[in-house]
Structure 1
């Protein structure tokens, strides 16, 4: 898509500005006004090179301290999280690096066995997608989709770039590779259709950069009990706001962070709060793919009505 200038300020042609107070009204499939999903980030990092979150000061490679801390998530933390999700009957969207199919395929298999949605999340989080040229980025998107289809029996409908790293062409390339939604943009509390160069729209489903353990716990140093209270407060506030508009709330979790035992103990309280709201019928606990399918059906139904 071409750049757009408004009064000399660079912009984009992906979507127009529309305030949330001036949009069509609708409900989620169970009649609730708030849709909630878990974005469960399952990631693999290169040993001795590349990017990665840090619990301590980064050292010269091989940075064993930080590499091993992240690897705890795949070996232990993710399994503890899945046990908790099972206990509460919560579905999840597993955001998968395809390098996991070589490194720890059992973990992806466990998510598939649970019936979780698989979302494309690059090959490894040791790399930034925006550093690729257009042809290489297109190959990455196709390769990840085909590998997930081959190994797990489901081609992902959605994509989250490692490190939310996106080129100017990413929405176009996602559409051309067969994806129907992206989680990269955190600009709204509702799904928003984004224009692509094919003329088709790709959905932007809200993905959180605040209700997210990496920026809150790692970057800002928030305590686990405070992060839990943040989840509870965010849920209760959005439930009130959703009386006026249907809303989406995502919760982004990384098992090497929240899978640590003392953090998991606090996370349990937050997820129990969400499960109780689900059981009362106050919210729809779902996956981003189901959210995308619902709003896509609503849009198509409105187009049919106008014809």
Structure 2
């Protein structure tokens, strides 16, 4: 059984505590799209932007082997992976990242810094990020296909970053018009996810749905607490109880809500499901994961 309650109010909402916005840049088309999203968030929060470009050491090491090959993304042809050529390409990508970051932020009057690193991407980002920061990255880089499986960097940051992580992909069709927050009934980390949902709903001028996974319909006081908070924040919201089943059941509920953006805590029980990676990969929409 589903319980749905709605609250509306026209007063302006408040935002979550704003740290920096860190944007991972690798020159791929999706990372450039994520850059635009990061800029809009930084503008709304009036906060600092740090661009991060990492020269991947594993790739550089691989180029040292004579048998190493790379496959063209469009041609599908294999060619030698040469260290000198790779260094030149990485320098060009870093310069492109610098220009893109500067131009994107200049259009909005925002300050920005580019951090150049060499190492493993996830490790370098984890060394830079702070608990109040938001990390923004494309769901996949050059090596992946939009809408396909999550990249390895994304998987590590989702599980280890101390702050919020936004996996960016192009928004879906117009029917998708609600911010969706997925919660556990007894989840201690609910508050941060709910606050992040309220901020996003207010910034995007979209209604919000809170889906609470529980073995049975929970206490109405839980729903009422959430709705009272949303009313104070000026957010049109509804709360819906959904059964604790497979990750696929949660996916169907999000599709029924017309989710345009998912916000979920990494402590949510859906991540304990063996289908969790498949769920995140199949959701071809932006996903914010909170601690």
| TM-score normalized with structure 2 length | 0.30
Q: Which has the larger radius of gyration?
A: 2
Greater helix share, structure number: 1
Which is richer in strand?
Answer: 2
Instruction: With the length of structure 1 as denominator, give the TM-score of the two structures.
Output: 0.29
